[in-house]
Amino acid sequence: MNAAEPILAPLLNISNVSVAYANHTVVKDVSIDIKQGEIGCLLGPSGCGKSTLLRAIAGFEPLSQGSISLLGKSLSNKDFTTAPEQRNIGMVFQDIALFPHLNVAQNIAFGIQHLTKTEQRARVKQLLDLIELSHYATLYPHQISGGQQQRIALARALAPKPKLLLLDEPFSGLDAKLRETLVPQVKAILKAEHVSALIVSHDQGEAFAIADKIAIMENGKIHQWDSAFNSYHIPATKFVASFIGDSRFLPGIVSCEHCIDTQLGRLKNPFPHGFKEGSTVDVLVRLENIITQADSAHFGKVVKKNFHGSYYKYELSLADNSTILYSTNAKDTAEHQLGENIPLKFCSESLVIFAR
Amino acid sequence: MNAILNRYKRIHWLSGIALIIALVLSLPILVVTSSLFGGFGPTLAHLIDTVLSDYVINSLLLLLGVSVGVLLIGVPTAWLTSVCEFKGKTLFTWALLLPLAVPAYIVAYTYTGILDYAGPVQNTIRELSGLNYGEYYFFEVRSLGGAITMLTLVLYPYVYLLARAAFLEQSSNVLEVCRTLGYSRKQAFWRLSLPMARPAIIAGLTLALMETLADFGTVQYFGISTFTTGIYRTFYGLGDPTAASQLASILLTFVAFLIILERYSRRQHRYHSSSEQRPASALIQLSKKQSCWAWIVCLIPICFGFLIPASVLSYWSITQASFDGQQFIGLAWNSLYLAFSAAIVAVLLSLLLVYAKRIKSTALVVSANTVVGLGYALPGTIIAIGIIIPLAWLDHRIIEFVDHYFKIDVGLVLSGSLFALLFAYTVRFLAVSMGAVQTGFDKIKPNIDNSARSLGHTNLQVIGKIHFPLMRGSMLTALLIVFVDVLKELPATLILRPFNFNTLAVHAYELASDERLIDAAPASIMIVAVGLLPVILLSRSISNSRAQKAL
């Protein structure tokens, strides 16, 4: 290995990793790289294998195939697993898991016992300042709130300056309001510590708010490993398209190399979409793609209606019984009634199309 | 590479140890059951012809009587102290546990002393009426009915405890749903509360019945032929260990039935639990008159099960008993260090077994833990017989070996020493300490371990820095419970103790057998006093968990 390579090499390399419990493969042939300073997110529905993958990276699960390496040093493969305590990878758990018999400062100092007392104190103080809990050093875990506990768990994991920090659904035990303030706070803390992180979440908003790159997982496989923007606008698979954002699929037939005929008329792509003429496809229709247009020849009938405070969300049924979503600003626009037919127009710069 | 190899080795090493412990501890059962395949000797044929039907009938009657008794006391008291609200309820809640501190044989000695011909009650009757013995009716304490009463008085707390927990766990929502569907409170109790608590009540009942089957001191003293007395008599009187263990294996089938029933009930019970707190409004406020009845229902078992025997024993100890201080200290010392050693052994083995399961919960380790966990159901007599037979055999092989090569007579190194006793106590009480240790481990979430490991600590460091400090309380509880159980244990101690080695329990038993009931009082009251410790602990944990729920 020459001197230039380590800089180019990713921090964490996961290649062709599978994890199996007693004949049941939970993670299937997964490969991703995480760069220095990057915050990644494993996003997917529960049971998709994201937590298992995270535990495998931490060293709690052996691999049945593939390898995991950190800074070029192999940590796990089919035949061996470096013990978690020897990996220099920190982890924050869903159930927080602070040590109940130690106070806040002792909890944070737990992983830096090899330092001198002075160094430990300095590091604990620095972290307590960072998480804005300087006055809580001598309190015990049961004396502080859930959000504070989670920040302390984060500080505890950051204390030994791990090369990589893993966070397993760190916000799922907290209420929505608290989550909203805590997520950006955690992101700021991670960036301030210049730590690379991989976070597991089932919540799209959380993932978008915190991660530089998102791996969308389903049934043990990664569908897309990309930025939030790309996952939203250029979904790699139908699953990604439906999992991210509010959307429906509109059936259509390819009528030319740019256009597709649907219940909302002929939709046009600015560049060739690459599907064969006459083939049947699904066009992704997001909530924001649908607007009303008084002179439109295409109508949607309101079949469901939900009030969301600042807006109404409607489910509209088209002539072929396919459905699309539509929303109106609750303040400016008149409320539609169930059964009402609304004239519609599809508007988007480019189309997201999948073969049926 | 080495790290993980070491880790795997360590896991296998622990699982292996767990398995070996389980195998060694199941030795008594294996010995007893295998005796069935050894052919039936003349002794057993003789027993079958003469007394076996008595054993079966008496044991069954005892089980039946105790069932009725503990249910009649345990369920109403549990219901009153969980669902109702009346003055003095808090006091009764823990006082109802007091009889747990008194071994059945000590209650039996005490009531015999009180109610016998020479006792204070009959004396008073004779003095007041001027009648002589035989001219008035007085019931015989030393009878089957007496034994049922004695066992009921000290065993009902098992039903009380489990039934009460079940009533408390019942979500008041479910009861309120029942009320909104048009059922009265009374109907809701019969149609909902009681059926929902039934698995717990049955689990409590099976525990009481296991103790009934295991009882030796009471039935022996009352001269009732049951399996335990029969096994003892066959072993010592007839000197036939094979027939004794064949009898023991018949008793084992009764025990096995109870174990299955208990496991089944507990499994049912799990589905019904809920941690919701019952709001104060859901408690039934008793009127003055109803409170009076509640007082009577609660006071009867407390008085007869604890207050009367304990005060009479104290009175006898202070005023009348002949008391040899030197001898008593010797006995107390024997009991204490024996109980303490057994407790240490039990807790260490529990830690090993439970930790092996925590580290790697393979089917092998889980079944090892389950097998070991069944020991509490085994009567001391069965364990003693199942231990003395193989140990005596091993001892004779050792004697032959040593004599052949070294020409020294080593004596009975295993069966004639405290080793046999410690072995028996471990078999019987390991489950108890395992329960406490398991509870302690369960409170430590697995991710606490994982956090510590991801912060650079090895498994061993996690034990030292996390498990040990967090488990201190549970380990002390385990130590205390085993300590007290060993102190109270009678039949296994009687059979397995080394020659001329006496404990408080054996001493009380011997004096009582010599009709020196009053002289047995000091040893008895000592056992009761020590027995109070875990009861206090238990009642404290009950009120603590309530306080925690209230928070």
Q: How far is B246 from chain A (nearest CA, A)?
A: 43
The residue with tokens 């009175």 is B315
Helix/strand/coil for A67: strand
- Residue A235 near residue A224 (C-beta atoms within 8 A): yes
Task: Give me the residues of chain B with pLDDT under 50, please.
Answer: 1-10, 272-276, 547-551
* pLDDT value at residue B62: 94
> Chain A: which residues have CB within 8 Å of chain B?
58-60, 80-91, 93-95, 97, 99-101, 110-111, 114, 153, 156-157, 159-160, 166
Smallest Cβ–Cβ distance between B1 and the set A80, A87, A166 belongs to A80
Q: How far is A157 from chain B (nearest CA, A)?
A: 7
Which residue in chain A has the smallest CA separation from B443?
A100
* pLDDT value at residue B31: 87
Per CB-CB distance under 8 Å, the chain A contacts of B454 are 58-59, 84-85, 87, 89-91, 157, 166
Sequence-distant (≥ 6) Cβ neighbours of residue B508 within 8 angstroms = B105, B106, B109, B520, B523, B524, B527
Which CA distances in Å does A102 have to A95, A106, A156, A181? Answer: 17, 6, 12, 27
Q: How far is B465 from chain A (nearest CA, A)?
A: 9
- Within 10 angstroms of residue B39's Cβ, the number of other Cβ atoms is 9
For the segment A288-345, what is each residue's pLDDT rounded down to a tens digit? 899 888 888 899 999 999 988 888 899 999 988 889 999 888 777 778 889 999 999 9
Q: Which residues lie across from A21 on neighbouring strands? A: A24
Angle ∠(B542,B472,B331) on CA atoms, nearest 5? 85
* pLDDT value at residue B274: 46
Per CB-CB distance under 8 Å, the chain A contacts of B470 are 100-101
Sequence-distant (≥ 6) Cβ neighbours of residue B548 within 8 angstroms = none
Per CB-CB distance under 8 Å, the chain A contacts of B451 are 91, 93, 97, 99, 153, 156-157
Cα B521 to Cα B310: distance, rounded to the nearest angstrom: 10
* pLDDT value at residue A6: 45
* pLDDT value at residue A196: 94
- Residue A35 near residue A10 (C-beta atoms within 8 A): yes
Domains of chain B: 12-44+323-517 (1.10.3720.10)
B280 touches chain A (CB under 8 A): no
- Which among A39, B106, B353 has a CA at the least distance from the CA of B114? B106
CA B376 to chain centre: 7
pTM over 0.95: no
Which residue in chain B has the smallest CA separation from A106?
B465
Helix/strand/coil for A27: strand
Which residue in chain A has the smallest CA separation from B457?
A85
* pLDDT value at residue A7: 52
* pLDDT value at residue B517: 82
* pLDDT value at residue B242: 81
CA atoms A212, A216, A221, A223: torsion sign: negative
- How would you list the strands of the sheet with A247-254, edge to edge? A265-268, A259-262, A247-254, A280-286, A353-355
Sequence-distant (≥ 6) Cβ neighbours of residue B387 within 8 angstroms = B27, B28, B31, B415, B420, B423, B424, B427, B496
B451 touches chain A (CB under 8 A): yes
CA atoms B534, B539, B540, B544: torsion sign: positive
Residue A144's pLDDT band (boundaries 50, 70, 90)? very high
- Residue B314 near residue B398 (C-beta atoms within 8 A): no
Sequence-distant (≥ 6) Cβ neighbours of residue B129 within 8 angstroms = B136
**Can you tell me the mean pLDDT for A216-234?**
94
- Residue A50 near residue A41 (C-beta atoms within 8 A): no
Cα A224 to Cα A245: distance, rounded to the nearest angstrom: 15
Which of the 8 DSSP states describes residue B323?
-
DSSP output for B346-360 = HHHHHHHHHHHHHH-
Residue B54, Cβ density class (10 Å: 0-12 exposed, 13-18 middle, ≥19 buried)? middle
pLDDT at A95 over 90: no
